[in-house]
Structure 1
Amino acid sequence: MPRIKSPHLLVAESGADRAGHGLKRTMGLFHLVCFGIGAIVGTGIFVGLSSSVAEAGPAVVVSFVLAAITCVFTAFSFAELGGAIPVSGSSYSFAYAGLGETTAFLVGWCLLLEYGVSVSAVAVGWSQYVNELLDSVLGIQLPQALSAGPGDGGAVNLPAVLVIAMAAVLLVRGVRESARATAAMAVVKLAVLVAFVAIGFTAFQDGNLSPFSPTGLAGIGAGTTAAFFSYIGFDAITTAGEEAKNPRRDIPVAILVCIGLVTLLYCAVALAAIGAIGGDRVGGTPAALSHVVDEVTGSAIGGGVVAFGAVVAIASVVLAVMYGQTRILLSMSRDGLVPRVFEKVSPRTATPVAGTLIVAVVFAIPAAFAPLDAVVNLCTIGTLAIMAAVNIAVIALRRREPGLDRTFRVPLYPVMPLLGVGFCLYLSYETGVTTWLQFAVFLVAGLLVYLLYGRRNSRLGRTAEVTPAGAEREPQAV
């Protein structure tokens, strides 16, 4: 049998009164929604929109809806498990409770792609809009050698390193400060995107939507895979399980509200951009939203405002995603699957200071030297694998723990989780053979790390498991 940790033990081990390891409950529903928006809305829409439009044309709206449907099916599963197991481990902890330790470790390994590598990708996109903002406001740009990595014609991407450093500083100061900053940045970027939609629709022309699907179903499918990157991060809400004031009620609500708001916003932005200047001119254009506003208004001022919104938006994604990564590593460290340095929480700030700084240094390196496109597909397939595992975990836990306190239940069970798995497999197929091969190598590497380090140091293999009634039993192990 696989090593499985019960949901009750996961919750018991995450108690805020654990000496030296406690996190403070300071986040309400508003902060969770802002945190979710902060984690989602950023590079995907400000930078990645042009790639999605290049694949699907005006039918990118359909691609966004299909990507949202994939997320909605899995969002229901995250909502159920986030309410039932309100801990900082998110999908890693859900997999531990539902599918066992080996799968949980590989899910945590894949989270290094979703939460970790995506930080690098997002930071690279941030530097593009920093240059756009400097050009609009001051008429200058940073030298290519200092604002792009070798793959993009430069030497080192210093703005990408800077935004990661700023996020790390804010995160180690405390979760309350981080939550406030995320909320403020979420409001700013939502206001900028709503303003963009209003400006874009003033120049809307029906003819720009024709032909609606120039590349057919194949283009829509490829566009859906590209658009999916725009939704990555919504599950980060569940990493706040130990810092939410009422996680069993607020986490499910925050997840579903975020997906709904973001989908409406993305579709509106895509229609406004394409309707204003046409899909051919949006697709493949760096900093596409600023370009659209410049053309519609005939002034660089509007584009500068959009660039400012993008700088704020993408910075908030870096902040939220780095938060999620450190909490995942904290949970894995508690279980002994990664070094103990990641579980150390500062008694003064109630944050994992050492873990945060390590994450910042490790992921600043690819941000400084790697191009954005090099990691997008690999990050996407890793995220889809995580989402598939969470859907399966819902089914496993319904059977193994029917009496678990669930404040939210997936509707139309088990149809919804099974559809979630199906959509994840379809989008994974669309990433292409090369990405599949890269992902296979990545998983093999993760399995070797687990066998050589994680399994040997796992605390579940050395401790007794606590049942809901408080009695002890030996953990399920191979």
Structure 2
Amino acid sequence: MDEVIAEATPLRRTMRTFDLTLLGIGAIIGTGIFVLTGKGALTAGPALSVSFLLAAVCCGFAGLCYAEFASMVPVSGSAYTYAYIAFGEIVAFMIGWDLVLEYALQAATVSAGWSGYFVNLLDGLGLHIPVQLTAAYGTTPGVTTYFNLPGFLIVLAITWVLSIGINQTKRTNDVMVLIKLAVIILFIVCVVRFVQPDNWKPFSPYGWYSFRSGSTTPMGIIPAASIVFFSFIGFDAVSSSAEETINPNKTLPRGILISLGISTVLYIIMTLIMTGVVRYPEFAKFINAPVAGVILKTGMGWLAFIVNIGALLGMTTVMLVQLYGQSRICYAMSRDGMIPRFFGTVHPRYRTPFQGTWFFGLLTAIAGGLVNINVLFELVNIGTLSAFIIVSAGIIWMRWKHPEAHRGFRAPGVPFTPLVSIVFCLVLIAGLNWETWVRFVVWFALGMVVYFSYAASHSKLRLADKNRADDTHRDHHEIDGSQSASH
């Protein structure tokens, strides 16, 4: 562990608590409010606010574990690095392999939602993109589409910002998040007077977990929490900025926990207002743009344009933080020899992992442009929940194995806190459908092939052990030779 912490970083330290908080809010608030509240309301009814709270509690317990690890091991890599320290390289590789997919898949998924809002905004201004270039092939029923051009271009633009430096990334994110928060607060202030408490009855029409007659899709608070958990994915990406953070022992835990707390409060207020203005079955009419549907119900057309801007900025910051976290995890894995050195090469001028950032940025942009990946967002959830379980278990292990290690922040109530985090994660995983489990197992198996065919033989840890063994063997050989000569 000491070797990992002590290693010098070529990255530039400029991030403070304020920047990390906005980075976390930028990752969390976006798709959850502007897209997933529609499907969530149909799944849980007005009790969607409880689903958000359940997902937030799960993230909160996991966030305490992340905060302790971030203060103890302030280096890039997030859950990958924490698993590396606690459980060794094979578990770390699988978590890193998992998170690389999850971050890219989430960014590509969000780019599809961003494209929809962008096309609507242009239509309102009298500008029109050919419908064939507004979505991936087969995405829109009854409409022939081939390529999601807006989604492709926004991912490339974000990749460019990420590649030219952390200062540019930080400033871009800070501005967009502040505007997004202002738009959300404006929505709350303007729409709250249209709430009708009768729309909250029944508050929990499907209970905690149930099935509709003839359906295999679970309904209720827990399945909805499993869906909206996607909204909170990204707060953990804050910890991937450790090597670009000033005084990470203190600022990282603060950034993680403050951003999670602010986002949770806003999510609960928003869902209560939205289900109070529109009865939950009506969200089926505008499932892909629930906020727009709520505004339509109020008749405030002027607010729709402003909220559209907020939605675009919200989803832009989500993609920015996801691609940022992905590039830093790849940087850490490359440094450890788990993936080729190409992905961890730092640009001498921009001081960023330039090549790796562009490689995965291009792949994400192409995936968002060509592939109908909206059905795969639950794969993002199961992968992230698995990472949370590993990090939480790692806290218990490190408290027992290395109680003397310096911790700038200590998660309260250990081992109770990480155990509760693990239980909540397992409950949310249980709310996902079986197809998600199959896809996850296939990706996991592919990762094992990559590990044993490349990572195991190129691992810096194994190479160091081999060099030490060779040195020891050579020393013994020299000693034996000198003893033979003396005889």
TM-score (structure 2 length as normaliser): 0.91
Aligned to 1:155: 146
Per-residue CA distance 1:263-298 (angstroms, 9 max, x = gap): 000011111111112212234522111221233134
Does the aligned pair in 2 maintain the 1:135–1:141 contact within 8 Å?
yes
Report the equivalent of 2:477. none
Partner of 1:357: 358
Whole-Å Cα distance in 2 between the matches of residues 320 and 75 of structure 1? 17
Query: What is the percentage of aligned positions where both structures have the same residue?
Result: 37
Aligned ranges for residues 107-122 of structure 1 at < 5 Å?
A: 107-122=95-110
Q: CA deviation at 1:450?
A: 0.3
1:198 maps to 2:220: no
Q: CA deviation at 1:375?
A: 1.7
| Other-structure match for 2:390 | 389
Contact 2:396 2:415 in 1 (8 A): yes
Alignment-derived partner of residue 410 in structure 1: 411
- Deviation at residue 30 of structure 1 after TM alignment: 0.5
Q: SS where residue 244 of structure 2 aligns?
A: coil
Q: Which residue of 2 aligns with 1:98?
A: 86
How many Å separate the matches in 2 of 1:446 and 1:292? 43
1:227 equivalent to 2:202? Answer no
**Separation (CA, whole Å) in 2 of partners of 1:331 and 1:451:** 19
Q: Give 1:170's aligned residue.
A: 161
2:33 counterpart of 1:45: yes
Tell me whether 1:319 sits opposite 2:307 in the alignment: no
**Aligned 8 A contact 2:187 2:307 in 1:** yes
- Structure 1 residue 416: Cα displacement: 0.7
Structure 2 counterparts to residues 235-250 of structure 1, below 5 A: 235-250=236-251
Deviations 1:97-124 (A, max 9, x none): 0011110000001102321111101111
CA drift of 1:372 comes to 4.5
Q: Structure 1 residue 464: deviation in Å?
A: 5.5
Name the aligned partner's letter for residue 9 of structure 1: E
Report whether the alignment pairs 1:72 with 2:72.
no
Distance change (3 Å), C-alpha of 1:372 and 1:265: farther
Q: Which runs of 5+ in 2 are unaligned?
A: 210-219, 474-487
Give the unaligned 5+ runs of structure 1: 1-5, 17-21, 466-471
CA distance in 2, matches of 1:158, 1:116: 17
Cα drift, residue 251 of structure 1: 0.4
Name the structure 2 match of 1:181: 172
Question: Deviation at 1:144?
Answer: 2.7
Which stretch shifts more, 212-221 or 84-93? 212-221
What amino acid maps onto 1:323 in structure 2?
Y
Distance in 2 between residues matched to 1:449 and 1:123, nearest whole Å: 28
Match of residue 144, structure 1, among 131, 145, 148: 131
Asked if structure 2 preserves the Cα contact closer than 8 Å seen for 1:186 and 1:316, the reply is: yes
Q: Aligned residue for 1:443?
A: 444
Once the two structures are TM-superposed, the CA of residue 473 in structure 1 deviates from its matched residue by 11
- AA aligned to 2:292 is S
Q: CA deviation at 1:435?
A: 1.0
Bigger drift between 230-239 and 215-224 goes to 215-224
Equivalent pair of 1:132/1:304 in contact (CA under 8 Å): no
Task: Kindly indicate whether the alpha-carbon contact (under 8 Å) linking 1:336 and 1:459 is maintained by their aligned counterparts in 2.
Answer: yes
Structure 2: which amino acid aligns with 1:381? I
- CA–CA distance in 2 between the matches of 1:179 and 1:375? 29
Q: Deviation of residue 143 (structure 1)?
A: 3.1
Paired residues of 2:173 and 2:317 also in contact (CA < 8 A): yes
Q: 1:178 to 1:290 in 2, by over 3 A?
A: same
In the superposition, the TM-score normalised over structure 1's length comes to 0.92
Contact (CA 8 Å) 2:42, 2:280: kept in 1 or not? yes
Question: Number of paired residues?
Answer: 454
Contact persistence 2:100–2:330 (CA under 8 A): no
User: Is 1:36 aligned to residue 24 of structure 2?
Assistant: yes
